[in-house]
Amino acid sequence: MSEVIQEIARKFPAAVKEVAEYAGETTLVVEPGQAKAVLRFLKESAGFNYLADISSAHWPDEGRIDVVYLPRSLKTGEQLRVRAPLPVENPVIETVSDIWRTADWLEREVYDLMGVRFGGHPNLSRILLPEDFEGYPLRKEYPMEGDDEWRNYLPPEEKP
Amino acid sequence: MTIHDDQQLLPKDGAGDVNRADVERLDLNTELVTVNMGPQHPATHGVLRLVLTLDGEVVVSAQPQVGYLHRGIEKIAETLTLHQAIPYTDRMDYLSPISNNIGLAGAVEKLIQFQVTEKCRVMRVVCCEMARISSHILWLATTALDIGAATVYFYAFTEREKYYDLFEKMTGARFTVSYGRIGGLARDWEPGLAEEILRVVRETPKAIKECENLLSRNRIWIERNQDVGPISADDAIDLGLSGPNLRASGVEWDIRKAYPYFGYDHYDFEIPVGEHGDCYDRYLVRMEEIRQSVKIIEQALKEYDPSLPLFPQDEQSRKIFLPPKERVLTKMEELIHQFIVATEGPKTPLGKEIYFAIEAPKGELGFYLVGSGTNVAHRCHFRSPSFVSLQGLPIMVKGQMIADVIATVASLDPVLGEVDR
């Protein structure tokens, strides 16, 4: 595992911000602008042919949203977590759906619930929530419940 | 291991391809029609909507629309203590709730670095494999019904009922069991339950064989399934398919072997692998997985010793798990522990993150947890196998007949509660 990280550090010296180890898992914190290049390298040169998951986490106090990729090699079972911290005011990162097709829906889910925009995504639209939903529920400031019903909700007798 | 038994298959004469060949040969003047299949369609196994563009009966493109069952389980789980989040996982894959519960418990244990006892480990393996068997049996029943083989439905449900009786004896509930607990399980097994599980499990291969006798060499079944909804190994990997759907395409990949959790590496079992990635291979893979699960349960129950404790006994560990209810109601000490654990609970380390995956019946069920320094997870993301495998549907059904869409959706085994979360 450390060989892959060393190679990444050599090829993309400006990309790697931090390498963290916890519970036997390695997390690579990368510069968001270089995240796609690092992931492309992992897929094409290091044999990480499977993207298990894309997730995200909002840290309101630090003003950032993390996008978390989980590439994996099905041949060796190697797995690496690549985390790209984005500013919460303008969370934009390049899509990886052209590297792994599975990223298409996974990125749409992150966009839908966390509001991260993926540049170059073929169809960046809401997937779990309705098209006209406002806000991004998984952000920490989003309330658990509101005062009113959803504005599009009308009781059956009031429907036109 | 390979799933094909050459003796079993009928020679193919291409009879099933007549329709498709006709369409091409006659070069009929057709125009494209867009059809909504679902969200209320009996064969979509929940509220799945497929927007199909059809040329006659041939599917030009298919676009799954999901989200009808979205309840925001991730958001809810991030506002509750980790113990309170467990019942919500029942409502994700509601056909194998026990493996969801235990998966979340395992993920939290990985985050807080906690070791469960040997007895708990064995019981978890048995529960997870029972969930796999009952889920695959239900899959067989509903898929056969979708394709028109109603008899199999009744045979399979009779068998599945036995498992649900066992779950009821084990947990007190049939469906939403909430049996997993951080640090252990909700309660010990009654005396004699292990023997009963063994008895039921040993009967299962016979019952499965009965269903297979009706299907595997059945001409209609073969023509509805063989070469229907195929996906190549490269596409399956690229699209992130997991579980039986990935293995049917010929990729030998199983989380139980790759990242053994709950001591799966102690057990002797094989990974069934298909060749063609079509509906028929997905069927064969699942049938073989049932037999392998039976093998695992038999081995695990040999290790099961009812006299051992379910929870660790040291004082530090007691601050992690909820004590059993009967002790809470009779012992002062345990009542105090119950209060402390329910109000404070296990503290998650701030900023630490883990990904814990189990091989759920539908595929790789992953839990991404980020600690917050309190008893609430800062981030609780569920990677659901059905969500990812539905994404592969457009590629599988492109160029197939509309009736094959039904067979392909069924063969992917999506559970919409898990897709939408």
Q: Which residues of A touch B381 (CB under 8 A)?
A: 53, 55-56
Burial class (CB in 10 A: 0-12, 13-18, 19+), B44: buried
Which of A53, A132, A133 has the most B C-beta neighbours within 10 Å, making it the best mutation to test the interface with B?
A53
Q: Is the dihedral of CA B370, B373, B377, B378 positive or negative?
A: negative
> Tokens 């898990």, residue?
B418
Give chain B's count of helices (H) and strands (E). Answer: 18, 8
Within 8 A of B368 by CB-CB distance, chain A residues are 53, 55, 68, 70
Per-residue pLDDT band for B187 (boundaries 50, 70, 90) equals confident
Task: Grade residue B289 by pLDDT with cuts at 50, 70 and 90.
Answer: very high
- Residue B360, strand partner residues: B363
Note down the domain range covering B208.
73-114+116-311+346-420
Task: Summarize the confidence of residues B130-135 as an average pLDDT.
Answer: 92
pLDDT for B136 equals: 93
| CB-closest option in A23, A57, A128 to B370 | A57
What are the tokens at B49? 């909507």
Q: Which chain B residues contact residue A135 at CB under 8 A? A: none
Q: Encode pLDDT of B237-247 as tens digits.
A: 999 899 999 99
CB < 8 Å to B366, chain A:
52-53, 70
- Name the residue facing B70 among A49, A79, A128 (closest C-beta): A128
Question: Cα separation of A51 and A82, whole Å?
Answer: 11
User: 3-state class of A27 per DSSP?
Assistant: strand
Are the beta carbons of A23 and B357 separated by less than 8 Å? no
CB B292 within 8 A of CB B300: no
Q: Rounded CA gap, B341 and B347, in Å? A: 10
Nearest-Cα residue of chain A relative to residue B355: A25
* R_g of chain B, CA atoms, integer Å: 23
Q: Exposure of A5 by Cβ count < 10 A (0-12 exposed, 13-18 middle, 19+ buried)?
A: middle
Is A19 within 8 Å of chain B by CB? no
The predicted pLDDT at position A152 comes to 59
Q: What 3-state class would DSSP assign to A71?
A: strand
Does residue B340 lie in a domain region?
Answer: no
**CB hemisphere CA count around B155 (13 angstroms):** 19
Residue B27 has pLDDT above 70, yes or no: no
| Phi–psi pair at A17, nearest 5 degrees | -95, -35
- B238 with A57: Cβ contact below 8 A: no
Q: Which of A69, A36, A37, A72 lies closest to A55 in space, CA to CA?
A: A69
Contact A77 B353 (CB under 8 A): no
Write out the residues of chain B at the interface with chain A, using a CB-CB cutoff of 8 A.
66-67, 70, 72, 74-76, 78-79, 110-111, 113, 237-240, 251, 253, 258-259, 352-355, 357, 364, 366, 368, 370, 378-379, 381, 383, 387-388, 390-391, 420-421
Give the one of A55, A101, A127 whose C-beta lies nearest to B239's C-beta: A101
pLDDT-wise least confident of A4-8, A145-149, B295-299: A145-149
CA distance B185 to B85: 15
Report if residue B388 sits inside a domain: yes
Residue B11 binned pLDDT confidence (cut-offs 50, 70, 90): very low
Torsion, Cα B123 B128 B134 B138, to 10 degrees, reads 160
Of A31-45, B84-98, B141-155, B303-317, the one with minimum mean pLDDT is B303-317
Q: Left, alpha or beta for B315 (phi > 0: left; psi -120 to 50: alpha)?
A: alpha
d(CA B103, CA B415) in angstroms, rounded, equals 17
Q: What is the CATH classification number for the domain harbouring B93?
A: 1.10.645.10
Question: Which residues, other chains included, contact B210 with Cβ-Cβ below 8 Å and sequence gap of 6+?
Answer: B155
Residue B64 lies in a domain: no
- Shortest CA gap B399–chain A (Å): 20
Give the model's confidence band at B125: pLDDT under 50 very low, under 70 low, under 90 confident, else very high: very high
DSSP letter assigned to residue B378? S
**Residue B132 placed within a domain:** yes
Work out the burial of residue A103: count CB atoms within 10 Å of its CB; fewer than 13 is exposed, 13-18 middle, 19 or more buried: buried
SS3 at position A61: coil
Closest alpha carbon within chain B to A96: B238
The identity of residue B402, as a single letter, is I
Nearest C-alpha of chain B: how many angstroms from A60? 11
Q: What total number of domains does chain B contain?
A: 1
CA A59, distance to chain mean position in Å, is: 14
What share of chain B in percent tops pLDDT 90? 27
Per-residue pLDDT, B15? 47
CATH value of A2-144 in 3.20.20.70, 3.40.50.2300, 3.30.460.80, 3.90.850.10:
3.30.460.80
CA distances from A44 to A47, A73, A159, B280 (A): 6, 11, 54, 32
Rounded to a whole number of angstroms, the distance from the CA of A157 to the nearest CA of chain B is 23
* Cross-chain residue pair B388–A102, CB shorter than 8 Å: yes
DSSP-derived 3-state class of residue B233: helix
